[in-house]
């Protein structure tokens, strides 16, 4: 079923006038009516391990999240509470909406957003959930309050669950977008722990973050890579070579020499 942006927002507003549990249930019913079996099947192929899926496309999910965040702006604890309810309802769409709701609320209610996200991390089961919650859900919180987020990243990257470890790394993709950002010791400590991780999804996250950082602080990234190049394993070498492409040619030489 197709629906206009106006219709979707109106239906979300009506749902949010109900009690939290009823509102979450109404949003779930709306998602079921908007879904496409073909899109749901495509998502299952692309995102292994996810829960139920209605096949609702991302623009609609963004509109729903925007309306939930607007409703929660005056009552941040209600907003983060609704995001948590939606996440716990378990479908792919509800988890995306929850993450994008937290992203918007993070601009003015950073502490409730951070605490809510921290409670949701142990339930992450796919790369999409990890990256939606880490890269988007905590985006503004990480940029505005890195001193609160980075110590948690240090703990997350040491967790027994690979998705939690990946989460502790991808959260840092927000930092290079801050004007004047320079890589610090807290970030390199987190990345050090991910370089030789057993899980491919964690190592891929390390490479992703390093490439983002290299675009704004190539000197620090060059130093980090050179240090690891001297004792590079095959998996570490792959991360280093991928990141080299983002460095100026003059800085690649030192890394290549250390790899040789």
Q: Residue 137 gets which letter from DSSP?
A: I
d(CA 182, CA 221) in angstroms, rounded, equals 10
What pTM value is reported for the model? 0.94
Beta carbons within 8 Å of 33's beta carbon, 6+ residues apart: 1
Alpha helices in the chain (DSSP H): 5-16, 20-34, 37-46, 58-72, 76-88, 92-105, 110-120, 127-131, 139-144, 146-156, 162-170, 185-195, 200-214, 218-229, 234-244, 249-259
User: Is domain 145-260 annotated with CATH 1.25.10.10?
Assistant: yes
In tens digits, the chain (260 residues) has pLDDT values of: 456 788 999 999 999 999 999 999 999 999 999 999 999 999 999 998 888 999 999 999 999 999 999 999 999 999 999 999 999 998 999 999 999 999 999 999 999 999 999 999 999 999 999 999 999 999 999 999 999 999 999 999 999 999 999 999 999 999 999 999 999 999 999 999 999 999 999 999 999 999 999 999 999 999 999 999 988 999 999 999 999 999 999 999 999 999 98
**Residue ranges of domains in the chain:** 1-143, 145-260
Rounded Cα distance, 209 and 57, in Å: 27
Residue pair 86/133 in contact (Cβ under 8 Å)? The answer is: no
Query: What is the structure's pLDDT at 2?
Result: 55
Would you call 238 exposed, middle or buried from its count of C-beta atoms within 10 A (0-12, 13-18, 19+)?
middle
């Amino acid at each position: 079923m197709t629906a206009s942006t106006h219709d979707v927002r109106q239906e979300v507003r009506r749902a949010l006038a109900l009690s939290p549990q009823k509102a979450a249930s109404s949003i779930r019913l709306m998602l079921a009516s908007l879904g496409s079996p073909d899109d749901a099947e495509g998502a299952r192929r692309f995102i292994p391990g996810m829960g139920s899926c209605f096949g609702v496309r991302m623009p609609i999910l963004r509109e729903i999240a925007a309306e939930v965040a607007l409703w929660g702006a005056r009552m941040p604890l209600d907003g983060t509470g609704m995001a948590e309810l939606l996440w716990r309802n378990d479908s792919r769409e509800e988890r995306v909406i929850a993450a994008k709701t937290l992203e918007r609320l993070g601009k003015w209610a950073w502490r409730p957003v951070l605490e809510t996200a921290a409670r949701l991390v142990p339930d992450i089961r796919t790369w999409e959930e990890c990256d939606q919650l880490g890269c988007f859900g905590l985006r503004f919180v990480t940029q505005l309050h890195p001193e609160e987020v980075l110590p948690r990243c240090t703990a997350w990257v040491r967790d027994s669950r690979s998705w939690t470890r990946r989460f502790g790394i991808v959260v840092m993709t927000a930092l290079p977008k801050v004007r004047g950002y320079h890589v610090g010791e807290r970030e390199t400590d987190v990345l050090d722990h991910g370089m030789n991780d057993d899980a491919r999804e964690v190592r891929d996250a390390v490479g992703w973050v390093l490439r983002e950082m290299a675009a704004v602080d190539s000197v620090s990234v060059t130093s980090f890579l050179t240090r690891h190049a001297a004792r590079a394993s095959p998996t570490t070498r792959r991360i280093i070579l991928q990141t080299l492409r983002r460095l100026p040619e003059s800085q690649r030489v030192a890394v290549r020499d250390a790899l040789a």
